[in-house]
Structure 1
Amino acid sequence: MFVRIVKMGFVPEKVETFLSDFEAIKSKVRGFKGCLFLELYRDKNNTNQFFTYSYWEDEQALQNYRDSDLFKGVWKNTKQYFNQKPEAWSVDKLVSLD
């Protein structure tokens, strides 16, 4: 399994817009071929800081999503609200405890 973590910081006045936009597209992203899991997290102390965690079948599945019209539209819309450069990590899941 391949995990993608993205950290995004937003202009405080645009947080509610981002959350509304995420609500509208989350099922499309999760339903994209190869996406196995999607969650959104919000920092407890810096409430305009968010993280997405998504699990993908493999790196090619993530790349297919990144090459899709869906991603291009989502990213174009979302990045206009950033107040800092986003950061992303691609990691391999090694252990999961129930």
Structure 2
Amino acid sequence: MLVRIVKMSFRDDKTEEFLANFEANKTKIRHFEGCQFLELYRDQNNTNIFFTYSYWRSETDLNNYRHSDVFKNVWAKTKPLFNAKPEAWSVDKVASLK
């Protein structure tokens, strides 16, 4: 399993637009083949900074998503809203405690 973390920073006046776009597409993203989990986080102090946290069955599944129409449509609406370059990490889960 691959864990994908993406940090996105938006212009203050564009956060609601981002949230509406995420709301409209979150089910498509979550049900894309290979996506097993999806969450969105918002920084408590800098409320224009968001993180997506997703689990993918494999790197191939993530890459298939990144080259899909679903991603292209979401990203086309998201990219113009940024105030900084997004950052992304693909990581392996080392430990998980519940």
Q: Give the TM-score range, shorter chain.
A: over 0.9
What are structure 2's unaligned runs of at least 5 residues?
none
TM-score for both structures, normalised by structure 1: 0.98
- After TM superposition, the structure 1 = structure 2 runs for residues 1-98 of structure 1, keeping only pairs within 5 Å, are 1-98=1-98
Gaps of 5+ in 1: none
Q: CA RMSD in A?
A: 0.5
Q: Distance in 1 between matches of 2:83 and 2:44?
A: 18
Aligned residues: 98
Q: CA deviation at 1:76?
A: 1.1
Q: Offset at 1:53?
A: 0.2
Show CA shifts across 1:24-68 (max 9, x none). Answer: 100000000000000000001000000000100010000000010
CA distance, structure 1, for counterparts of residue 58 and residue 94 of structure 2: 14
Deviations 1:54-87 (A, max 9, x none): 1000100000000101101111110010000000
Structure 1 residue ranges, 4+ long, deviating more than 2 angstroms after superposition: none
> Identity, % of aligned pairs?
66
The one-letter code matched in structure 1 to 2:66 is R
